[in-house]
Chains A and B, each alone.
Chain A
């Protein structure tokens, strides 16, 4: 596989992850349990959407057909998205939202600092910026997971359920294909398999602090990062997110 094509696929996946999760998190705006959490979630969503502009901007540049980050976000259909299934799952309750956030933040907090060392300056620049934000996000989501997991009997129950629901979506993070192999071989992006132990060590430590039982089952749902089988939830999300551009093509303000 050609390096340029591999990098385009990689940038699209990075951008789709932050776009879809950013949109999901923004759904909490005005609905959070307390004001501080509302503001925190909105700010997290904002960071993710900002990172999306950078990653999808790079993907569009590599595609070389003049598509902007906005074009990629608003004018593709479900089967063209390459985000992890984890990011498109519905918010559920606040605990599940924070558990999903933690499982994602933990991954970003490990991957992005590595990408910031990439010899490809475009990747390194975006990652260096995003890594600072991810470090801040994981601090908060890990604290919240511990606070609720090691909280009351009721909050503990919610977090254990959230973990059971989300766990089968964690494995997809470490799926790789020929694009990932190509980038790893060129030294542009580390092979995800080399980061797996670090990731599981981090989440196991936090989940243990949260007094939660870490599931041992390694069954994983797949089909997000290759676009082959998204969940039914993605289409519903897109009808919301893309509504304006589809109803009023080219709308601007």
Chain B
């Protein structure tokens, strides 16, 4: 087969959903650090969000499945630790989708800016940790709904 361009591969990766937050893609999440051809082997560098995130191995499997589906035969997945993942790498498209989905996007101030349900700004923290390593639990005291906040790191 002819080698698809790296731009094409990035597009394909942008269609692979994050297993925990399926409305955003792996590219939106900012964990794909590099795509390159080494001879006839496609190399994709992936960085973990949290060092113990159990989704990491599942994500690698999803990437492999997707690339095989597009006819890639030789694939090498590389774990890239540095620079360490930061929520600054979330795409703008991803941030908008997170909020639409009901997850408040990360803020440099360290807490959500507004309730993703009603837009209210009277918020309280329930717990520093949430359903996945990347989230914390908050509650809106305007509409009384709890919601996930994507931690800023």
Contact = CB atoms under 8 A, between A and B. Distances in A.
A, B assembled together: yes
Contact of B52 (A36, A47, A132): A47
Contacts of A53: 51-52
Given A51-B52, A132-B153, A136-B151, A36 B133 contact: no
B25 interface: no
Interface in A120-161: 121, 124-126, 128-130, 132-133, 136, 139-140
Contacts of B51: 47, 50-51, 53-54, 129-130, 133
A37 B151 CA distance: 17
B2 interface: no
Given A36-B137, A54-B51, A132-B153, A43 B129 contact: yes
Report the contact-size class of chain B (Cβ under 8 Å from the partner): 20 to 34
Interface residues of A, number: 27
Nearest to B127: A36
Nearest to A128: B84
B81 interface: yes
A139 B129 CA distance: 12
Contacts of A228: none
Contact of B48 (A39, A44, A50): A50
- Of B130, B133, B137, B153, the most chain A CB neighbours within 10 A belong to B133
Contact of A40 (B50, B54, B85, B129): B129
B131 interface: yes
A103 interface: no
Nearest to A130: B51
B64 to A, nearest CB: 18
A7 interface: no
B128 A40 contact: yes
B53 interface: yes
A125 B53 contact: no
B82 interface: yes
A48 interface: yes
A46 B83 contact: no
Contacts of A139: 128
B127 A40 contact: yes
A128 B25 CA distance: 25
A188 interface: no
Contact of A46 (B54, B81, B130, B151): B54
Interface of A: 36-37, 39-40, 43-51, 53-54, 121, 124-126, 128-130, 132-133, 136, 139-140
